[in-house]
Chains A and B, each alone.
Chain A
Amino acid sequence: MNKTQNNKAWFLVLPVLAIVSLNAIVPLMTVVNYSVQETFGNNLFFFEGVRWFREVLDSERFQDSLLRQFSFTGIILAIEIPLGVAIALSMPKKGIWASVCLVLMSLPLLIPWNVVGAMWNIFALPDIGLLGYTLNAMGFDYNFTRQAISAWFTVILMDVWHWTSLVVLLAYAGLRSIDDSYYQAARIDGASKWAVFLYIQLPKLKHVLTLAFLLRFIDSFMIYTEPFVLTGGGPGNTTTFLSIDLVKSALGEFNLGAAGAMSLIYFLMTLLVCWLFYTLAMRGEER
Chain B
Amino acid sequence: MARIDLQHLKHSYIENPMVEDDYALKEVHYTWEDGGAYALLGPSGCGKTTLLNIISGLLRVSEGKILFDGKDVTALQPEGRNIAQVFQFPVVYDTMSVHDNLAFPLRNRGVDEDEVKRRVSETLDMLDLTKWSEKKARGLTADVKQKISLGRGMVRSDVNAILFDEPLTVIDPHLKWQLRSQLKLLHKQFGHTMVYVTHDQTEALTFADKVVVMYEGEIVQIGTPEELFERPSHTFVGYFIGSPGMNVLPVNIEGRTARIGGTEFELAGTPELKPGVRTDLGIRPEFIVLGEKGIPVSVQKVEDVGHHKIVRAAIEGQDISIVIGESASVPADPHVVFDRERVSIYADDWRVEMGG
Q: Check B58 against A203 for contact (C-beta < 8 Å).
A: no
Q: Is B229 an interface residue (CB 8 A)?
A: no
Q: Which residue of B78, B93, B138, B149 is within 8 Å of A187 (Cβ)?
A: B78
How far is it, in angstroms, between the C-alpha of A188 and the C-alpha of B79 when the chains are bound? 6
Number of chain B residues close to chain A: CB under 8 A: 26
Q: Check A203 against B89 for contact (C-beta < 8 Å).
A: no
Q: Which residue of B58, B96, B105 is within 8 Å of A199 (Cβ)?
A: B96
Q: Is A181 an interface residue (CB 8 A)?
A: yes
How far is it, in angstroms, between the C-alpha of A218 and the C-alpha of B79 when the chains are bound? 45
Q: Which residue of A184, A191, A200 is within 8 Å of B58 (Cβ)?
A: A184
Q: Is B287 an interface residue (CB 8 A)?
A: no
Q: Is B109 an interface residue (CB 8 A)?
A: yes
Q: Check A286 against B91 for contact (C-beta < 8 Å).
A: no
Q: Within the complex, what minimum Cβ distance (angstroms) separates B147 from chain A?
A: 14
- Chain A residues with CB under 8 Å of B109's CB are 190
Q: Is A282 an interface residue (CB 8 A)?
A: no
Q: Check B95 against A203 for contact (C-beta < 8 Å).
A: yes
Q: With A181-B87, A182-B91, A203-B95 in contact, do A189 and B138 touch (Cβ < 8 Å)?
A: no
Q: Check A187 against B95 for contact (C-beta < 8 Å).
A: no
How far is it, in angstroms, between the C-alpha of A199 and the C-alpha of B93 when the chains are bound? 6
Q: Check A187 against B58 for contact (C-beta < 8 Å).
A: yes
Main secondary structure of the interface of A (DSSP, over half): helix
Q: What 1/0 mask marks residues of chain A from 169 to 202 whose CB sits below 8 Å from any chain B CB?
A: 0000000000101101101111110010001100
Those of A186-237 within 8 Å (CB) of chain B: 187-192, 195, 199-200, 203-204
Q: Is B108 an interface residue (CB 8 A)?
A: yes
Q: Within the complex, what minimum Cβ distance (angstroms) separates A192 from chain B?
A: 7
Q: Is B20 an interface residue (CB 8 A)?
A: no
Give B105's nearest chain A residue, CB to CB.
A189
How far is it, in angstroms, between the C-alpha of A179 and the C-alpha of B87 when the chains are bound? 12
Those of A8-46 within 8 Å (CB) of chain B: none
Give B109's nearest chain A residue, CB to CB.
A190
Q: Which residue of A179, A181, A190, A286 is within 8 Å of B108 (Cβ)?
A: A190
- Chain B residues with CB under 8 Å of A191's CB are 104, 108
Identify the interface centre among B84, B94, B96: most chain A CB within 10 Å of its CB. B94
How far is it, in angstroms, between the C-alpha of A189 and the C-alpha of B109 when the chains are bound? 9
Q: With A188-B83, A199-B95 in contact, do A181 and B89 touch (Cβ < 8 Å)?
A: yes
Q: Is B146 an interface residue (CB 8 A)?
A: no
Q: Within the complex, what minimum Cβ distance (angstroms) separates A182 from chain B?
A: 6
- Chain A residues with CB under 8 Å of B123's CB are none
Chain B interface (Cβ < 8 Å from any Cβ of A): 53, 56-58, 77-79, 83-85, 87, 89, 91, 93-96, 104-105, 108-109, 138-139, 149, 152-153
Query: Known pairs A181-B89, A188-B105, A286-B138. 12 more at Cβ < 8 A?
Result: A179-B91, A181-B91, A187-B77, A187-B79, A188-B78, A189-B152, A190-B109, A192-B108, A200-B93, A203-B93, A203-B95, A286-B139
22 A-B residue pairs with CB within 8 Å: A179-B89, A181-B89, A181-B91, A182-B91, A184-B87, A185-B87, A185-B152, A187-B78, A188-B58, A188-B84, A188-B105, A189-B104, A189-B108, A189-B152, A190-B79, A190-B108, A199-B95, A199-B96, A199-B104, A203-B93, A203-B94, A286-B138
